[in-house]
Chain A
Amino acid sequence: MLKLFQDSGHRAFLLADRLANAIFGTKWNPFYYLGTMAFFFFYIVLISGIYIYIFYDTSVVDAYTSVEYMTHKQWYLAGVMRSLHRYASDAMVTTMVLHLLRGFFSNRYRGARWYSWTTGIPMLVMVFAIGITGYWLVWDKLGQFVAVRTSEWIDWLPIIAEPTARNFLTNTSITDLFFRLLVVTHLGLPLMLLGLMLLHVTRLNYARINPPAGLAIGSTLALLVLSLVKPAVSHEAADLSTLPTQLNLDWFYLFIYPLMDQWSMGAVWALVGGGALLLALIPWMPPKRREPVAVVYPDDCSGCNLCVVDCPYEAIRLEKRTAATASGRYAHLPIAEVEESKCVSCGICTGSCPSSTPFRHSDEVSTGIDMPHRNIRDLHAATREALAKLTGPTKVLVYGCDHGVEMSKVMQSEVAMISLPCTGALPPSFIVYALRNGADGVFLTGCRSGDCFHRLGNDWVDMRIEHKRKPYLKRSVPHERVKRYWAAATDHKQLIDEIESFCQSLRDLPPATVKAKAEAQDATTSRETRG
């Protein structure tokens, strides 16, 4: 049931991605930058908040008047800033929720990835708390409603001896001191949120915290247009002797308040508290057996640092060798060490290890860092087996990943498939190996560009092939024999078309010449991959 729900949600996101990719391209697709967009909207909220705070009066009597001054008298700047403050806050909560949903539907929250998920939940709670206190500060009828209902909601808890709602009985019962305390809360919570934001991305290598400039400019302009077309305005001034009647609620933040009138306060607490707790614990529900983590082989690890810089989850670091690991030809060099709690078993480290090569003089293929359950020997054997199966006029070996198109869906007579935990786990030397041992071409696929399940796998593959990141694909490999097409799980038709078109392009090439050229150049560049 949960799987079906997740699959449906994931398909919906993939569909939306396709539309956004067509409009923005993969580099600017807003759905690929939901987290960074939330960060960006937070910066807008912060800057606009600092500006309007200059004009804001923190006393009960004058708070409303000062907001009205900004809205009407200085509408061209303070008023626009107020509107930006509100709309960027709404956009922030929207992108945060979408970011959360995307992570849930695409199953990117379990195992070692629990940390980013779980630190995100208190952030969401905090954003709501900041938003709610913000509405309070305007001290209009909506602020009055929010203040009174919030305190009545808090008073439901049995830990509160004296009802806090009694602070809002009459216009004289609320003091400037209490109001200033609220201002401090509204200013202090964002600082705490900033700390949580840093924690949220702590375990990510090359964490993206800023969206592409084009997307940031487009979103800012859009919010600016909204601020001018529909400026944020207040309700009437708060008056505790009269009831608020009709309210223009900000549904992004205040959706729980109508629930307080429909349900009991206890039920709303159950929804909010229970919901937050459930979300925080969801990475362990149901418990999942973790896949084995990467293992370092001291005799083959040269301490080159490539796996350290390639690991998307900061799970590898270089350490001095101990007596147990100081063996082999690299005994005098540092050694990679895997932090088990952070490893997600993606295998990208194996793909980045220069020792991961099928061109070995020894009988057994080995490497410096490997996945115990899907190791380099298995990949070597699978490649040889797949090459042996290729009997058609054009022989194409496809390396894909477990999170892209299901390999069985694109099976063709001229094609053999191998699926990896991530395409980034493929050492470039295997492409050379396949071409030298009977393949006319190698086709690489995996998640859509910008949406790698393991964050950076397809980026690393692109850069290795384009000689922008070590280990490089040998320059001698003819580019027309290697093709990449990044496709989501739902893109099997497009992938079949791309493979067919690749087969066709290979048929037009003179095979013997190209292979001979490649082999000749290999002799001179054989040390490149170890660069």
Chain B
Amino acid sequence: MQILRYLGQALWYLLFIAFIGYFSTSPAYTFMEPGQAMIKLAFNHSGKLKKPCREFTKEELAAKPQQMRIKFDCPRERSPVYVVLEIDGKRVFEKTISPSGLSKDMPSPLYERIPLKAGKYQLHLGMRDHVDTKGYDYEFNGPITLAPSQILVIGFDPDRKEFTFQ
């Protein structure tokens, strides 16, 4: 009887480690098929000031206390940034990104994943950083090649004012 209990305990522990051992790695999960690739659109870009600076009128300045009489009125709010991505002529991403910050005076953050099959594509990328702009302030047109499993990170260099590809 005691032997049966020991056998039962051995079986119990065996089932316990089989359960732990199996589910600690299995079943395997396929996050992306091997032939897949991905574009990540990721950058922070500050839109232009929504309204330009304006000189106060003499009447307006006179109405202010002495220490607050500055020459220009410059609203802090920035314009939303508009980004569009077309691949082989097909629009795959389009978004108007509001500026961050309570006063909407911070950059517009963008982080977007676009899964694609590996291969060659014609890319068109456009961005405008003011709502009143017609067309795009910044644009890229050109071919790209995505290898299997590759992640292509598209950023924006504010100094060179152009898109970057990593």
Footprint of B on A, CB under 8 Å?
20, 22-25, 30, 86-87, 90-91, 94, 145, 152, 155, 161-163, 165-166, 169-170, 218-219, 221-223, 225-226, 229-230, 232, 240-252, 257-258, 261
Contact = CB atoms under 8 A, between A and B. Distances in A.
B104 to A, nearest CB: 11
Given A166-B111, A170-B153, A218 B9 contact: yes
A230 B21 CA distance: 7
A87 B155 CA distance: 41
Interface string B91-118: 0000000001100001001010100000
A242 B12 CA distance: 42
Contacts of A165: 42, 111
A22 to B, nearest CB: 7
Given A166-B111, A222-B13, A241-B151, A246 B31 contact: yes
Contact of A226 (B17, B32, B44): B17
Name, among B31, B44, B101, the residue most crowded by chain A CB atoms within 10 Å (CB to CB).
B31
Nearest to B115: A243
B150 A222 contact: no
B101 A161 contact: yes
B24 interface: yes
Given A162-B100, A241-B150, A244-B31, A22 B8 contact: yes
B28 A222 contact: no
A149 to B, nearest CB: 9
B31 A243 contact: yes
Interface of B: 5, 8-9, 12-14, 16-17, 19-21, 23-26, 28-34, 36-38, 40, 42, 44, 100-101, 106, 109, 111, 113, 149-151, 153, 155, 166
A232 B50 CA distance: 56
Given A86-B24, A166-B44, A242-B149, 10 more contacts: A87-B21, A94-B19, A163-B109, A169-B42, A169-B153, A219-B16, A225-B17, A245-B34, A249-B25, A250-B25
A245 B30 contact: yes
A91 B23 CA distance: 11
26 contacts: A20-B12, A23-B9, A24-B12, A30-B12, A87-B21, A90-B24, A152-B113, A155-B111, A162-B100, A170-B153, A170-B166, A218-B9, A222-B14, A222-B16, A241-B166, A242-B149, A244-B31, A245-B30, A245-B32, A245-B36, A246-B29, A247-B31, A249-B25, A250-B25, A252-B23, A257-B29
A90 B8 CA distance: 23
Name, among B33, B37, B38, B42, the residue most crowded by chain A CB atoms within 10 Å (CB to CB).
B42
B31 A166 contact: no
Contacts of A251: 23-24, 26
A387 to B, nearest CB: 40
In terms of DSSP, what is the predominant structure of the interface of chain B? Answer: mixed
Contacts of A222: 13-14, 16-17
A166 B109 CA distance: 10
Nearest to A171: B166
A91 B24 CA distance: 10
B29 A242 contact: no
Contacts of B30: 245-247
Given A163-B42, A241-B150, A250-B24, A23 B8 contact: yes
Given A23-B12, A222-B13, A248-B28, A243 B37 contact: yes
Contacts of B12: 20, 23-24, 30
B20 A243 contact: no
A334 to B, nearest CB: 48
Contacts of A155: 111
A471 B144 CA distance: 86
Nearest to A169: B153
Contacts of B42: 163, 165-166, 169
A86 B17 CA distance: 12
A312 to B, nearest CB: 29
B111 A226 contact: no
Nearest to B19: A94
Nearest to A258: B29
Nearest to A24: B9
A386 to B, nearest CB: 38
A232 B21 CA distance: 9
A247 B17 contact: no
A245 B5 contact: no
A169 B36 CA distance: 17
Contacts of A247: 28-31
Given A218-B13, A226-B20, A248-B26, A261 B8 contact: no
Given A170-B153, A246-B31, A226 B21 contact: yes
A169 B151 CA distance: 9
Nearest to A224: B17
B20 A23 contact: no
A222 to B, nearest CB: 4
B9 to A, nearest CB: 6
Contacts of A86: 24
A300 B83 CA distance: 82
In the A-B complex, the 7 residue pairs with the smallest Cβ-Cβ separation, listed nearest first, are A23-B8, A163-B111, A248-B25, A222-B13, A226-B17, A161-B100, A242-B149
Given A166-B42, A243-B38, A87 B24 contact: yes
B34 to A, nearest CB: 5
Contacts of A243: 31-32, 36-38, 149-151
Nearest to B30: A246
B151 A94 contact: no
A261 B30 CA distance: 11
